[in-house]
Amino acid sequence: MDDSGSKAEASPAVNVERERRILDAAIKLIVHYGYDKTTVSDIAREAGVSKGAVYLHWPSKDDLFTALLLREVQLFAAEWMEMIEQDPEGGTLQGMYLHSLTAMLKRPMLKALMTQDRRILGDFMRRQDRSLLKQRNIMSAEFIRLMQEAGVVRADLDADLAAYILACLRLGMIYIEEMLDADQIPSLERAIPAMADFIERSLAPEGGSNSEAGKRIIRNMLTALQDRWARGQMI
């Protein structure tokens, strides 16, 4: 067990590795048991460190969980961008939606955040600034307007309505599992591409989206977000 007395006594590499182990342990336990039922002692035991070592990194359980959510957002964004860059059509609406939903559904903590899953998030969200929830939509109206200017989204559409519809579709795909019988739900491998194709046909300009212009906008957006993440701020 790692019982390091202070951050100053360990090398930066040791601190980074210990932090990773703690966050890995935290997400495993919180996804399984929920935030309220998971204690700092549980996390320390799972990570193989002392409880005091956890508090060297974060002064409270809430601070640890906020750091965990931030890491999940950063990992999601990195994977999303990689998928977009590797896909020639990644900067189209179809590509963006396909890859964002695929990347997000791999991360149960982000799925819980999107749906405000009280089993996983517990009492944590009630104590947080509502901006944590209000700002979680990457494909906002402002983003849609940029895409319209770049020729990725039809210019005649109301950006606020388009952003709202996209949010409804994304959240609907997450919630629908709780409302339908299993035999009524197609596999994600079929459903996500079909939904992405539907969005492209509905919102893209005649002739299709400008993929390269879309990629540039996403790169710029993520660069700006990385500055916020470096300051410990969420989306």
**pLDDT tens column, 79-132:** 999 999 999 999 998 999 899 888 988 899 988 887 778 889 888 877 665 555
Q: What would the mean pLDDT of 186-205 be, rounded to a whole number? A: 89
How much of the chain, in percent, has pLDDT values that exceed 70?
A: 87
Model pTM? 0.80
Q: Which two tokens stand for residue 115?
A: 């749906």
Contacts of 207 (CB under 8 A, 6+ apart): none
Distance CA 135, CA 126 (A): 16
Give me the pLDDT at residue 78, please.
Answer: 93
Tokens of 181: 């019988």
Question: What pLDDT sits at residue 11?
Answer: 63
Identify which has the larger pLDDT, 232 or 155. 155
Q: Is 10 left (phi over 0), alpha (psi -120 to 50) or beta?
A: beta
pLDDT at 55: 96
Q: Which residue has the tokens 């989206």?
A: 209
* pLDDT on residue 32: 96
Can you list the domains of the chain with their CATH numbers? 1-57 (1.10.10.60), 70-230 (1.10.357)
Place of tokens 């990194």: 57
Task: Read off the pLDDT of residues 21-60 as tens digits, 9 standing for 90 and up.
Answer: 999 999 999 999 999 999 999 999 999 999 999 999 999 9
- Cα gap 14→208, rounded to integer Å: 49
Span 174-201, average pLDDT: 85
Conformational region of residue 140, where left means phi above 0, alpha means psi within -120 to 50, and beta covers everything else: beta
Q: State how far the Cα of 160 lies from the Cα of 192, in Å rounded to an integer.
A: 23
